């Protein structure tokens, strides 16, 4: 980092601040952006043998970009991770080029490596229910068992991310019929809460030995602090081994399962998109593991011209 000029460091800090305040990027995202872009600038400094100030950054060439990508891949960085790093660098350069008035084509024209996207693996309905039941049996303390069951029930019953579930506070208890959830990028959505989730959280709240103040986390760790997501990951690992489920049976898989099971029960893809908080319908399509036949059913049932061909109103 010593080869990065104060001006470049200040520019990076200003860009990161904008990502946080203007675009609502999460703390983990900001940390990843900082690491990826700082590593990129440090490489360019070593590559050129000179400190990387703003002027030097504006003169980066296609050859420089190829050298960075080759070096990154040689460090055993996979194609998916390299694509993420390149995305962060490009985002920083778009902002920097606009601020400093230079042409960023060499950076922005660099193509990310191709990689096969891993489709999510939802649990079968009976496996999801078995996971919820088995999670409760892992902890010796009744309140911890109730807590773990409540968290997993909320993940599956409401389709929340683990970070969203653990962001609930004492003010959300008892859970209302609908929750307003703030997801990625600060985007808000309304999520219905099924009775099973409300009941599981209420039972946990009755047993929890720590005061659930309105401004404090709803789900608590053993010592009363905020519950670490690793605790839920670990208890689900134990449960999946006992149930013979694959390693993909993670907290996030409960969210995948929520979406897939809704779709299989006749749920509308657009409505599920809203419940998940996805910006793109294509994301929801992959998320629900929906096949082409199911998509055609949705299309035939909802598209006006398709409905007209099958006898519906035009």
Residues that are catalytic: 161, 184, 252, 255, 278, 287
Distance CA 158, CA 78 (A): 33
* Ramachandran bin of 266, using left for φ above 0, alpha for ψ from -120 to 50, beta for the remaining angles: left
Token pair belonging to 305: 């011209």
Distance CA 217, CA 182 (A): 15
Distance CA 117, CA 82 (A): 14
Taking alpha carbons only, the member of 172, 201, 177, 202 closest to residue 191 is: 177
């Amino acid at each position: 980092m010593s080869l990065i000029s104060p001006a470049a460091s200040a520019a990076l800090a200003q860009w990161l601040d904008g990502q946080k305040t203007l675009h609502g990027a999460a703390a983990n995202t900001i940390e990843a952006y900082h690491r990826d872009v700082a590593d990129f600038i440090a490489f360019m400094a070593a590559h050129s043998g000179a400190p990387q100030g703003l002027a030097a950054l504006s003169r980066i060439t296609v050859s420089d970009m190829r050298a960075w990508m080759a070096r990154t891949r040689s460090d055993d960085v996979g194609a998916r991770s390299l694509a993420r790093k390149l995305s962060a660098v490009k985002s920083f350069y778009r902002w920097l080029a606009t601020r400093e008035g230079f042409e960023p084509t060499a950076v922005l024209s660099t193509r990310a490596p191709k990689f096969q996207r891993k489709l999510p693996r939802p649990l079968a309905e009976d496996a999801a229910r078995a996971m919820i039941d088995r999670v409760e049996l892992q902890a010796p303390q009744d309140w911890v068992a109730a807590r773990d069951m409540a968290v997993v029930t909320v993940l599956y019953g409401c389709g929340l991310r683990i970070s969203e579930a653990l962001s609930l506070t004492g003010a959300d208890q008892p859970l209302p019929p609908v929750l307003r959830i703030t997801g990625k990028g600060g985007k808000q959505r309304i999520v219905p809460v099924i009775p099973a989730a409300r009941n599981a959280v209420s039972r946990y709240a009755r047993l929890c030995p720590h005061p659930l103040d309105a401004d404090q986390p709803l789900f608590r760790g053993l010592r009363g602090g905020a519950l670490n997501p690793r605790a839920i990951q670990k208890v689900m690992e134990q449960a999946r081994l006992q149930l013979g489920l694959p390693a993909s049976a993670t907290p996030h898989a409960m969210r995948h399962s929520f979406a897939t099971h809704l779709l299989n029960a006749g749920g509308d893809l657009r409505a599920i998109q809203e419940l998940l908080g996805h910006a793109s319908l294509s994301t929801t399509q992959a998320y629900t593991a929906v096949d082409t036949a199911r998509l055609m059913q949705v299309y035939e049932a909802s598209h006006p011209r398709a409905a007209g061909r099958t006898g519906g109103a035009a």
